[in-house]
Amino acid sequence: MNHSGVTLDEIEVGMSASLSKTLGEVDIVLYSGITGDNNPVHVDEEFAKKTRFGTRIVQGMLTAGLISAILGTRLPGTGTIYIRQDLRFKAPVKIGDTAVATVTVREVNRERKRVILDTICKVGDTIVIEGEAEVMPPSKKA
């Protein structure tokens, strides 16, 4: 009824899913309130102008949240248990940029009930985050 995604039996190496979102000022401001990350490089344009970035940038962990969103809602989807996430922050995301997160199944171990996925976020052709996730997909549809 509430299920979207695939089960442990259905998931296969090479399956892939993407999610894109424009990360606007409202996202940065709300995320700052939720987490306490009010670093001036995210919320103070006058400060950010003088940094190497030249303008306010998005909190890296906010962009990484797109990866988590795909894992929990699309691939594997509903019922997935998040085990591990490794993130390498490669380039800044500026306010107003559209980030595209993509997860691709690299390994499936049905006995251990574990799946490893490559996880990447891009803005245009630039990789902004790369890494990998380990999850336990649901055994059956919710």
Contacts to its own copies by CB under 8 A = 2, 19, 21, 27, 30-31, 33-42, 44, 47, 51, 59-62, 64-69, 72-73, 78-80, 82-89, 142
What gap in Å lies between CA 113 and CA 137, rounded to an integer? 7
What gap in Å lies between CA 76 and CA 73, rounded to an integer? 7
| Closest CB to its own copies among residues 14, 34 | 34
What gap in Å lies between CA 60 and CA 65, rounded to an integer? 9
**Closest separation between CB of residue 69 and its own copies, Å?**
4
**Closest separation between CB of residue 59 and its own copies, Å?**
6
The candidate with the shortest Cα–Cα distance to 134, out of 50, 68, 47, is 68
| Closest CB to its own copies among residues 21, 113 | 21
Tokens of 130: 């790369």
**Closest separation between CB of residue 139 and its own copies, Å?**
12
